[in-house]
């Protein structure tokens, strides 16, 4: 590995480590996302729990509910990724110090780990509370890892775009919808396949392609969005 | 001791407006190694805007900025990462300590972390104090440490002695004097300042 690449990775890791260090001290994202997800999960399980939906409908309906729940929880916390830097006026020091692509990568990795932590808590609870039989748990894990990455990458990119705007929360919802819509369709389809046990190999490839496309788009667009 | 190649910053006919409000109207100046350019003017005369343009944090509407360092011409992106910048709107992570903040920025700037202890000692700032609990004078000392962390050749100082007590001013003046052995500085302040090596004075009209 060249010196430049290792320095770039060290820079991205420094951003990632700083994000988790501040998160452990404030617990803002974990509390916001976690509380939102658990509250929604309880509402869903009371309304559509084991007895609320017919068995035939469950394979179709449950993956949709799971991903809508994850999307809303992410939308409640991820927009803060760059807005907080602008509001607390730390963005100037970051602009003077960080390579934009390394900064984006560090923030993206942090967002991904937050989403993975959220999925790790929410999904087993969802499966247990809904009495949902999963035919292929490995495939569901793959859907959560790839779909979670897509949520984090798309969310981080949109969060960077809206950082300097007023009414950033509303703008996040408006801009995130078209970016995240293809991802949600694919993640729901893969989760449905995992629950029903009918694996379609093209869907994981499409999810991977989406994740790669959003990452490349983010790395290319972020310097223009972040710098004056 | 081997001398570093000279640096030169020059800017010609800089214009910058915010909507209909023209803040910079054809501002020009230059400064070389070992020199300070002092920019004065009333509140709202465009001192901070000029420094932001020079730092690469803002793009001027018109005009040219040229900065040469180590025989290389730096563009706005390179200039932004190369300079040292002290300004009132520079803030740090309140959840982290003074030392953690500087360690984070040292890693981003890919510079040695050994310098942190030396700088904190020079400005008499406790490393383990949370940045969120710093007084305004201590925060200004931290801004100086941040600016000098990567040993920049060009320092851009916007009201650099704001909120500093007498020992704080002495410490930072001494750091500036030492910096000017091989570097250059642009200092903006509402009124005149006692500064080392002032070669040019630019008065901005309000």
pLDDT in tens, B167-177: 999 999 999 99
Taking the C-alpha atoms of residue B12 and residue B79, their distance in angstroms, rounded to an integer, is 17
- CB B141 within 8 Å of CB B123: yes
Q: Inspect the interface and report whether the beta carbons of B92 and A99 lie closer than 8 Å.
A: no
Taking the C-alpha atoms of residue B105 and residue B99, their distance in angstroms, rounded to an integer, is 10
From edge to edge, which strands make up the β-sheet containing B72-74? Answer: B21-32, B8-18, B62-69, B72-74
Place of tokens 């942190």: B116
Taking the C-alpha atoms of residue A129 and residue A114, their distance in angstroms, rounded to an integer, is 22
Taking the C-alpha atoms of residue A46 and residue A144, their distance in angstroms, rounded to an integer, is 24
Q: How many CB atoms lie within 10 A of CB B186?
A: 26
Q: How far is CA A189 from the centre of its chain?
A: 17
Chain A partners of B90 at a C-beta cutoff of 8 Å?
Answer: 89, 92-93
Q: Tell me whether strands B8-18 and B21-32 are parallel, antiparallel or unpaired.
A: antiparallel
Whether residue B1 has pLDDT greater than 50: no
Which residues of B fall below an 8 Å CB-CB distance to A? 55-59, 77, 80-81, 83, 85, 87, 89-96, 100, 104-105, 107-110, 146
Interface ipTM > 0.85: yes
Nearest to A103 by CA among A16, A176, A5, A33: A16
- CB A155 within 8 Å of CB A176: yes
Average pLDDT over residues B42-54: 95
B82, two tokens: 């190369």
pLDDT in tens, B73-107: 999 999 999 999 999 999 999 999 999 999 999 99
Which of B85, B91, B104 is the closest to A96 by Cβ?
B85
B203 strand-pairing partners: B40
Q: Inspect the interface and report whether the beta carbons of A18 and B93 lie closer than 8 Å.
A: yes
Vertex A97, ends A92 and A98: CA angle to 5°? 100
CA distance A89 to chain B (A): 5
Q: Inspect the interface and report whether the beta carbons of A96 and B80 lie closer than 8 Å.
A: yes
Chain A partners of B55 at a C-beta cutoff of 8 Å?
Answer: 96
B4, two tokens: 């570093």
Whether residue B143 has pLDDT greater than 60: yes
CA atoms within 13 A on the CB side of B37: 24
Average pLDDT over residues B156-161: 96
What is the number of residues in chain B?
Answer: 206
Q: Inspect the interface and report whether the beta carbons of B100 and A21 lie closer than 8 Å.
A: yes
pLDDT in tens, B66-76: 999 988 999 99
Q: Beta-strand (E) ranges in chain B?
A: 8-18, 21-32, 36-41, 62-69, 72-74, 84-86, 154-158, 184-189, 198-204
pLDDT in tens, A31-64: 888 888 888 888 888 877 665 566 667 788 889 9
Burial class (CB in 10 A: 0-12, 13-18, 19+), A38: middle
Q: What proportion of chain B, given as a percentage, has pLDDT over 70?
A: 98
Q: How many CB atoms lie within 10 A of CB A30?
A: 16
Domains of chain B are 8-204 (3.40.50.300)
pLDDT value at residue B91 = 96
Which of B55, B58, B95 is the closest to A22 by Cβ?
B95
Average pLDDT, chain A: 88
pLDDT value at residue A53 = 64
Q: Which residues of chain A have pLDDT under 50?
A: none
């Amino acid at each position: 590995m060249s010196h430049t690449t290792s320095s770039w990775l060290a820079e991205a890791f420094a951003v990632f480590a700083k994000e988790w260090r501040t998160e452990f001290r404030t617990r803002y994202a974990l509390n916001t996302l976690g509380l939102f997800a658990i509250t929604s999960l309880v509402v869903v399980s009371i309304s559509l729990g084991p007895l609320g939906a017919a068995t035939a409908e469950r394979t179709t309906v449950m993956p949709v509910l799971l991903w809508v729940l994850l999307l809303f929880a992410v939308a409640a916390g991820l927009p803060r990724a760059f807005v907080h830097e602008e509001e607390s006026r730390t963005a100037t020091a970051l602009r003077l110090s960080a390579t934009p692509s390394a900064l984006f990568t560090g923030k993206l990795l942090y967002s991904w780990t937050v989403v993975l932590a959220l999925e790790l808590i929410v999904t087993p609870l969802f499966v247990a509370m809904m009495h949902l039989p999963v035919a292929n748990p490995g495939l569901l894990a793959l859907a959560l890892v790839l779909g979670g990455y897509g949520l984090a990458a798309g969310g981080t990119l949109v969060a960077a775009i809206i950082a300097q705007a007023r009414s950033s929360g509303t703008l996040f919802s408006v801009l995130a919808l078209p970016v995240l819509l293809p991802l949600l369709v694919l993640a729901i389809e893969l989760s449905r396949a995992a629950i029903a046990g009918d694996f379609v190999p093209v869907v994981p490839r499409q999810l991977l392609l989406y994740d790669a496309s959003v990452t490349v788009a983010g790395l290319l667009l972020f310097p223009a969005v972040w710098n004056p | 001791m081997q001398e570093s190649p000279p640096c030169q910053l020059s800017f010609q006919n800089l214009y910058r407006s915010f909507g209909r409000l023209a803040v910079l109207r054809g501002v020009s100046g230059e400064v070389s190694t070992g020199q300070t350019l002092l920019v004065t003017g009333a509140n709202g005369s465009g001192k901070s805007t000029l420094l932001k343009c020079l730092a690469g944090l803002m793009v001027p509407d018109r005009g040219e900025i040229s900065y040469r360092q180590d025989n290389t011409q730096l563009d706005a992106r390179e200039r932004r990462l190369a300079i040292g910048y002290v300004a009132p709107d520079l803030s740090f992570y309140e959840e982290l300590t003074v030392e953690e903040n500087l360690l984070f920025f040292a890693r981003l700037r890919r510079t040695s972390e050994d310098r942190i202890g030396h700088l904190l000692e020079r400005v008499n700032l406790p490393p383990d104090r949370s940045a969120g609990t710093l007084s305004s004078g201590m925060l200004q000392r931290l801004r100086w440490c941040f600016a000098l962390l990567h040993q920049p050749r060009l320092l851009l100082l916007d009201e650099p002695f704001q909120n500093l007590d007498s020992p704080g001013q002495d410490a930072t003046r001494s750091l500036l004097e030492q910096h000017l052995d091989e570097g250059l500085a642009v200092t903006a302040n509402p009124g005149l300042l006692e500064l080392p090596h002032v070669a040019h004075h630019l008065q901005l009209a309000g």
